[in-house]
Amino acid sequence: MSILEIEHLSHEYGDHILYQDAALRLNAGEHMGITGMNGAGKSTLFKIIMGAIVPDEGRIWKSPRHSIGYLDQYAEIDSGSSIRAYLLSAHAELFTREQQMLSLYEQAGQDQKLLEKASRIQEHLEQQGFYDIEYQMERVAGGLGIRDIGSAGLETPVENLSGGQRAKVILAKLLLEAHDMLLMDEPTNFLDAAQVEWLAGFLQQYPGAFMVISHQHDFLECITTCISDLEFNKITTYRGSFLAAMRQKDFKREEQLRLYHSQQKEIQKLEDYIARNKARASTAAMAKSREKALARIERISAPQHLAEPEFVFPQIILSEQVILEAEDLQIGYDRVLLPPITFKMHTADKLVIRGFNGVGKTTLLKTLMGQLPKLGGVFYLSHPGTISYYEQDLAWENPQDTPLTHLAGVYPKRTMKELRGALSRCGVKQDHMVQAIGTLSGGEQSKVKLAQMSLRKSHLLILDEPTNHLDQNAKRALIRAVQAYEGAVIIVSHEDEFYEEITDHVLELGK
């Protein structure tokens, strides 16, 4: 039984066509992955389903009997509540019913009608699992690493949370709400490897349906029963896991290519015959007949291919050997997060910093960059003015700026041709260059940040979770760019398959 149907969907953003007569169906209990290149319209599809965007054309039908939950990592949270109170608000209706029940019991005395009414409410609460709410909350909070946030754990005020911690708390509440259908856009972005594994196990057992956008293919392979792939303005659904879907997609491409070449040969033969015989009286009738046959052929489109972006980071080669050295460095905010840290980096070293979420990886980077004061120890950083730093948060001083105006503000001496060239090489489409940055997809915004880094020379790249929003093509391009970079590199990433080809040193925090 279907709980979501999309038919004849067409939508443009500016001059960019996202969908053209596209269709999709989600059945009850189905676990669907949504895949596609950056900018293909994956997040927009969710917003259309939720009614936040009205498509140009199309029918969107959602079962009125099924509830829908949407992972909005930018949702507002009551700043006066604790994490525990926020998570328990997932069952606010049940807590209200409990208060009604307690009030009825208190009023009832020997009144049989009131006692029966209170009993019915209690039975409803039991059926809804009300008395397991605390257990389920602790389970989800533990799996996502929320219990370990700060010294206060679940009593931490939500207003004290970082962006990543906030996103995890919002995800936890969504899972606790137990909707019939979930829409999750990049739910693993702020999770470490252990938390991604826990989430995969949770979603494998999820009784409802869900649609999930993710560029982590191992994660999709674990949790999906079908894949809907957005490519060339269409939505194609494949049955099976992610790997099975990609095999079907490759076979479909190869089959289309074979049919296309076969048809092209047939068309060429007809065109050659018509050209040779049209002017001769004795064969003109046959040529006319072939011309009609040629006009009736339904042309097979040539398989399309998407060019991979090309990231290039120009480097400054330093004469000195040691470019970064820390001895007994202590980091944190109002308190020290970790035992003293000691390490050293040389020119051309490639270092990955690992550790569970919240251990202090980003705090260490911000301390090295001078954005946070050190709490103890010493560190030396050569030429801090020639460091390129990729911050994981997609925050812009003015989100209404276009990529072109943003880069022009950072590099006022660069020509528009140079700025367009940098954006184009990094995979930003021409129409997206003049669109407000805040309206671009996460992947497109990441490419703008990487284009900005490609326009300045540096001797050290610091990349904090650079792949969170990038599709597979862009990840491969980034791996090549970092491998080609002759300066030093520090990477924070939860994706082993991204950094294992690049790094030759590991700094493990928390051990």
Digit-by-digit pLDDT tens for the chain (511 residues) are: 899 999 999 998 877 789 999 999 999 999 999 999 888 899 999 999 999 999 999 999 999 999 999 997 667 777 778 999 999 988 989 888 889 888 888 887 777 888 888 889 999 888 888 888 999 999 999 999 998 886 678 888 888 887 788 889 999 999 999 999 999 999 998 888 889 999 999 999 999 999 999 988 899 999 999 999 998 889 999 999 999 999 998 888 888 788 888 888 889 988 888 888 887 877 888 888 888 888 888 887 766 666 689 999 999 988 788 999 999 999 988 788 889 999 999 988 999 998 887 788 999 999 999 899 999 999 998 888 889 999 988 888 898 999 999 999 999 999 999 999 999 999 998 888 999 998 888 889 999 999 999 999 999 999 999 998 898 889 999 999 999 999 999 999 988 888 988 888 999 987 6
Quote the tokens at residue 322. 């040691």
Given this model, what pLDDT does residue 61 score? 96
Residue of 226, 195, 194, 232 lying closest to 212 (CA atoms): 226
Residue of 305, 296, 239 lying closest to 270 (CA atoms): 296
Q: Is 280 exposed, middle or buried (0-12, 13-18, 19+ CB in 10 A)?
A: exposed
d(C-alpha 188, C-alpha 164), whole Å: 10
* Paired strand residues for 289: none
Residue of 253, 254, 234, 250 lying closest to 242 (CA atoms): 250
Given this model, what pLDDT does residue 109 score? 76
Give the sign of the dihedral formed by CA 145, CA 151, CA 155, CA 157. Answer: negative
Return the biggest CA–CA distance within the chain.
Answer: 109
Q: Residue 451: count other Cβ atoms within 10 Å of its Cβ.
A: 25
Q: Is 470 exposed, middle or buried (0-12, 13-18, 19+ CB in 10 A)?
A: buried
d(C-alpha 507, C-alpha 359), whole Å: 12
The length of the chain is 511
Given this model, what pLDDT does residue 73 score? 66
Residue of 202, 504, 195 lying closest to 356 (CA atoms): 195
Q: What is the pLDDT of residues 469-509, one digit of tens each?
A: 898 889 999 999 999 999 999 999 988 888 988 888 999 98
Quote the tokens at residue 424. 């184009």
Q: Give me the amino acid identity at 191.
A: L
Given this model, what pLDDT does residue 511 score? 64
d(C-alpha 56, C-alpha 69), whole Å: 24
For residue 231, give every residue at least 6 positions away whose Cβ sits within 8 Å of its Cβ, in sequence order, or none: 36, 37, 40
Given this model, what pLDDT does residue 165 score? 84
